Amino acid sequence: MKNSRRRKNKMIEEICSAGSSITMLAILYLSFKYREHWQVVTIGVAVFLICLLILVFLITRIIRKKRIEKAMVTQNYDSMSGEDFEEFCADILRGNGFSDVEVTKASGDHGVDVLAKKDGVKYAIQCKRYSKPVGNKAVQEVYSGKDIYKADVAVVMSNMDFTAQAIEDAKKLKVELWNREKIYSLQKAGNKEIVPTPVKENALVCPNCGGDLVFRTAKKGPNAGSQFYGCSNYPNCKYTRSIN
């Protein structure tokens, strides 16, 4: 997936490079041939450059939209880039009746990736496309960002679950935590086409290392024969959880 994305980015770079080269050659040729009408040539080149930039922008948007749509249909949230996940979350909100949905700029966003309104309530949302449980730093960031953007509700929206500390801090600060299951329910409510995928055991995540929790049966010791969830990274991680 990453290699495919690199190839697409390289293709866009090559288009820009080729367009720039063609433009420079065109400028040199036209400037020499029509040097008496240099103003007309300048305007023509400017129009060409604008059209080229628009074309590159549209190609980029189309590629990103197709990636997001594919991930939405298959619930393959984990394959998205961070920026794609933000756009995906924004699209989910629009499908659920949120208005004024806006993805903030990448830098200097004060811990808020998406702004949205619903029923007169303004939401400040941080989107986390993670491979492990989200920690309390995200909770603290979006809580601070909520005041900067003058929002009413702070939310952390993630494809993963949250650490115990993040959950505790969220309760104290009244920050809403929307995990994978919440995203899926919003996706269904927004009438987005969904192809159900089997629920894997990695729906349970180890809070210590972020690995998958898998179903195990104790083979020896005082608890021999009992069943539990154990971390897939055993013996490096020895976290266990009762199945009850």
Q: How many domains does the chain have?
A: 3
Decide which of 48, 74, 100 is a domain's last residue: 74
Residue 82 pLDDT: 82
Work out the angle at residue 143's Cα, subtended by the Cα atoms of residues 139 and 149, and round it to the nearest 5 degrees: 135
91 & 182 share domain: yes
172 & 211 share domain: no
- Residue 161 belongs to a domain: yes
Residue 49 pLDDT: 75
Are 195 and 74 spatial neighbours (Cβ–Cβ below 8 Å)? yes
Residue 120 pLDDT: 92
Residue 2 pLDDT: 39
Are 82 and 129 spatial neighbours (Cβ–Cβ below 8 Å)? yes
**CATH code at position 158:** 3.40.1350.10
146 & 206 share domain: no
Decide which of 37, 57, 74 is a domain's last residue: 74
CA distance 45 to 23: 7
Adjacent-strand bridge partners of 237: none
Q: In what order do the strands lie in the sheet with 114-118?
A: 99-103, 114-118, 121-128, 153-158, 176-178
93 & 63 share domain: no
36 & 93 share domain: no
- Residue 175 belongs to a domain: yes
CA distance 44 to 129: 44
From the CB of residue 164, how many other CB atoms can be counted at a distance below 10 Å?
A: 11
17 & 105 share domain: no
User: What pTM value is reported for the model?
Assistant: 0.52
Residue 198 pLDDT: 38
Are 52 and 58 spatial neighbours (Cβ–Cβ below 8 Å)? no
130 & 62 share domain: no
- Residue 13 belongs to a domain: yes
Overall size of the chain counted in residues: 244
Cβ contacts of residue 41 below 8 Å, gap of 6+?
27, 30, 31, 34
Decide which of 39, 59, 74 is a domain's last residue: 74
pLDDT in tens, the chain (244 residues): 334 444 555 565 666 666 666 766 666 666 666 666 666 666 776 777 787 778 777 777 666 666 555 555 445 667 777 888 888 899 889 989 999 999 987 666 788 999 999 999 999 999 998 888 899 999 999 999 999 999 999 999 998 889 999 999 999 999 999 988 888 888 877 654 443 333 343 346 777 777 777 767 777 777 776 767 788 777 788 888 776 5
16 & 85 share domain: no
- Residue 194 belongs to a domain: no
CA distance 158 to 128: 5
- Residue 133 belongs to a domain: yes
- Residue 236 belongs to a domain: yes
172 & 96 share domain: yes
pLDDT tens per residue across span 192-244:
444 333 334 334 677 777 777 776 777 777 777 676 778 877 778 888 877 65
Q: Which domain holds residue 60?
A: 2-74
